[in-house]
Amino acid sequence: MKILITLILINTLVVFSSLWAKQSEGSSEWISLFNGKDLEGWDTYISYVPKSGETVVKGVNNDPNKVFTVVDGLIRISGQEWGAITSREEFENYHLKLEFKWGELKWPPRLDMRRDSGLLYHCVGPHGAQNDHWMRSHEFQIQEGDTGDYYSLAGASLDIKARKISFNESHRLQYDPNGQNYPLDTVTFSRRVIKSHDNENPTGEWNVVELICEGDVATHIVNDEVVFQATASRQESEDGQSIPLTRGKLQIQSEGAEIFLRNILIRNLKN
Structure confidence at residue 70 (pLDDT): 98
Least confident stretch, 20-34, 41-55, 215-229, 236-250: 20-34
Percent above pLDDT 70 for the chain: 89
Closest to 39 (Cα-Cα) out of 264, 189, 237, 218: 264
DSSP β-ladder status, 31-32 and 257-268: antiparallel
Structure confidence at residue 8 (pLDDT): 40
Q: How confident is the model at residue 188 (pLDDT cuts 50, 70, 90)?
A: confident
DSSP β-ladder status, 136-143 and 225-236: unpaired
Q: Collect all residues with Cβ–Cβ distance below 8 Å to 85 and sequence separation of at least 6.
A: 39, 42, 43, 44, 45, 68, 75, 77, 251, 252
- What is the tens place of the pLDDT at every residue in 130-148? 999 999 999 999 999 999 9
Structure confidence at residue 12 (pLDDT): 43
| Domain chopping of the chain, boundaries | 30-268
Q: How confident is the model at residue 207 (pLDDT cuts 50, 70, 90)?
A: very high
**How far apart (Å, rounded) are the C-alpha atoms in residues 7 and 196?**
47
What average pLDDT is seen over the chain?
Answer: 91
3-state helix, strand, coil in the chain (%, to 5): 10, 50, 40
Overall fold of domain 30-268:
Jelly Rolls (2.60.120)
Q: Collect all residues with Cβ–Cβ distance below 8 Å to 100 and sequence separation of at least 6.
A: 117, 142, 206, 207, 209, 259, 260, 261, 262
Q: Which helix (H) or strand (E) segment is 220 a member of?
A: strand 217-222
What size, in residues, is the chain?
Answer: 271
Structure confidence at residue 177 (pLDDT): 97
**How far apart (Å, rounded) are the C-alpha atoms in residues 172 and 182?**
12
Structure confidence at residue 238 (pLDDT): 85
